[in-house]
């Protein structure tokens, strides 16, 4: 029976840190894609977007039912965007269709207040 080889904990830790960095980069890219697909990046300046997100977090903590309503609305958005991508065969067309959705600041503020 061969002796058991010792684990290289440092190598495993480096691999996990690399994976975490990759996941954070992917998350940032997806957030940017979401902002573009919804039209929020064009309709609101970064300060307003940050304020809207902070307000949404406060509302979600205070009213979990509102957060569930937002989740359902987001799910419907992605279903709509996904179905148009399947029809067109292109992710860019889905982003263009999703960007055509109403994205004015009043709608965004109303969504945050729900």
Q: What pLDDT score does 91 carry?
A: 47
Say if CB 105 and CB 44 are below 8 A apart: yes
Q: Locate tokens 């965004």: which residue?
A: 108
110 pLDDT more than 60: no
The whole-number pLDDT of residue 42 equals: 92
| Residue 42 contacts residue 103 (beta carbons within 8 Å) | yes
So what's the pLDDT on residue 93?
Answer: 42
pTM of the model: 0.57
Q: So what's the pLDDT on residue 101? A: 40
Query: Which sequence spans correspond to the domains of the chain?
Result: 12-43, 45-84
- 35-54 pLDDT, tens per residue? 999 999 999 999 999 999 99
* Residue 56, pLDDT score: 94
């Amino acid at each position: 029976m061969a002796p058991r080889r010792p684990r290289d904990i440092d190598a495993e830790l480096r691999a996990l840190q690399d994976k975490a960095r990759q996941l954070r980069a992917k998350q940032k890219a997806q957030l940017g894609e979401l902002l573009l697909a919804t039209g929020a990046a064009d309709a609101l300046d970064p300060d307003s977007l940050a304020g809207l997100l902070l307000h949404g977090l406060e509302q979600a903590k205070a009213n979990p039912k509102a957060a569930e309503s937002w989740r359902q609305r987001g799910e419907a958005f992605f279903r709509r965007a996904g179905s148009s991508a399947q029809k067109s065969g292109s992710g860019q067309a889905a982003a263009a269709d999703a960007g055509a959705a109403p994205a004015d600041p009043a709608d965004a503020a109303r969504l945050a207040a729900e």
